[in-house]
Amino acid sequence: MCRHLGWLGEPVSVASVVFDPPSGLLVQSYAPRRQKHGTVNADGWGVGFFDEGPRRWRSDKPLWGDASFASVAPTLRSGCIVAAVRSATVGMPIESSASAPFTDGSWLLSHNGVVDRAVLPVTRDAESTVDSAVLAAHIFDRGLGSLGETIAEIGARDPGARLNILAGDGSRLLATTWGDTLFALDRADGVVLASEPYDDDPAWLDIPDRHLVEVAATGLKLTPLKGSR
Ligand code: GLN
């Protein structure tokens, strides 16, 4: 299970959410604290953010080995960031195009989990054969406005699936919990969604399983998904 993180708010540097926190994504790549599936996230990483449109920097290597990216991350600033570190599911390809975030040109989308690709009807080219890329292509086809319905349907078709999604389009974040953890931190300057807290602030909200999370300028909204227990 990978770890992902999203930011929506005032422009902040990528480094301030990925590298600087005591248990930020960098530390989560080798010492995650809440990970239930897998031990390290060393099979790649991706950082996406918006300026006029989506920008991405992805790799098939461990985040901790990329001193070049760490050196530029303090200068990359955005009000909407979607980042992930990857622990590949057995049998899945290890290539930079298999690292989240995936994009359709409008959204940046990450998937924590696993899904049987056979239950996904693909109607457009996925960026990789990895299950997460095929799932992303399906979600893009259906439209992010139906994210909650899409996830509940796939969950019904593949009862073993874990379907934690995190997506951003520059002005909002959408996320689902379906089989793994997600936490939210409401800061004065914006909102963080993350697979696990990046520090020990008691304000981190533990999002219940099988929920849709919507973050916009107006705040954070939780909706139970069909099939929630
Ligand atoms: N199944 C996806 C992959 O192989 C995601 C894995 C994960 O969440 N650890 O990349």
Residue 229 lies in a domain: no
Q: Is 55 helix (H, G, I), strand (E, B) or coil?
A: strand
Q: Which atom of ligand 1 is nearest to the CA of 100?
A: 10
pLDDT digits (tens, 9 = 90+) for 183-217: 999 999 999 999 999 999 999 999 999 999 999 99
Cβ neighbours around 43 below 10 Å, total: 23
Q: pTM for the complete prediction?
A: 0.96
Q: Is 80 a catalytic residue?
A: no
pLDDT at 123: 66
Which residues face 7 on adjacent strands? 81, 192
Residue nearest to atom 9 of ligand 1 (CA): 1
Residue 99 lies in a domain: yes
The total number of structural domains in the chain stands at 1
Residues in the chain: 229
pLDDT digits (tens, 9 = 90+) for 170-189: 999 999 999 999 999 999 99
Ligand 1 binding pocket mutation candidate from 1, 2, 138 (most atoms within 8 A of CB): 2
Ligand 1 centroid to Cα of residue 8, in Å, is 24
Q: In this structure, what CATH number is given to the domain that contains residue 107?
A: 3.60.20.10
Cβ neighbours around 64 below 10 Å, total: 16
Structural domain of 66: 3-224
Tell me which residues have their CB closer than 6 angstroms to ligand 1. Answer: 1-2, 38, 86-89, 92, 98, 111-114, 130-132
Catalytic residue among 2, 84, 88, 166: 2
Alpha carbons 103 and 109: distance in angstroms, whole number = 6
pLDDT at 1: 54
Give me the sign of the Cα torsion angle 170, 1, 85, 138: negative
Q: Which atom of ligand 1 is nearest to the CA of 37?
A: 9
Q: Which two tokens stand for residue 182?
A: 């997600």
